[in-house]
Amino acid sequence: MIQAVRARDGVGQRTCRHGVSGRVKASGERTMGNIRAHLIIEGRVQGVWFRESTRREAVSLKLSGWVRNRPDGSVEALIEGPENEVEKLISWCQKGPPAAKVTRTHRKNDKWQGEFNSFDIVF
């Protein structure tokens, strides 16, 4: 079951029974909604500018959230923003900056919360 509500600007919000939402133009074309993704990136990802490179990529994509090193040698990131842009950053994280060697990426999708106003390196 999908529900659509038309707004004055000709764009409505659509939500399906799985909880996935997005914007719908009056023409019926679906645009991406906001999502939240939690990543754990493993491999040679510390000491190779992974966090700063991730932050710069996120800022260029107008995403919010944070990235940090973990004691086990992995990097963790929490990303929020438009689905399209989040997917671009996740794809970038699976490779990382030139000196990195990513061996595995764990991903958990969550409901967008709009919790952040910027993308930061946290400690």
pTM attached to this predicted model: 0.75
Please write the tens of the pLDDT for every residue from 64-89: 999 999 999 999 999 999 999 999 99
Please write the tens of the pLDDT for every residue from 23-32: 444 444 344 6
Known catalytic residue: 17?
no
Measure the CA angle with vertex 70, ends 58 and 51; round to 5°.
Answer: 25
Please write the tens of the pLDDT for every residue from 6-46: 333 444 444 333 344 444 444 443 446 999 999 999 999 99
Q: Which of 23, 44, 69, 107 is catalytic?
A: 69
Known catalytic residue: 109?
no
Q: Which of 14, 36, 51, 55 is catalytic?
A: 51
User: What 3-state class would DSSP assign to 122?
Assistant: coil
- Judge whether 79 and 90 are in contact, CB under 8 Å: yes
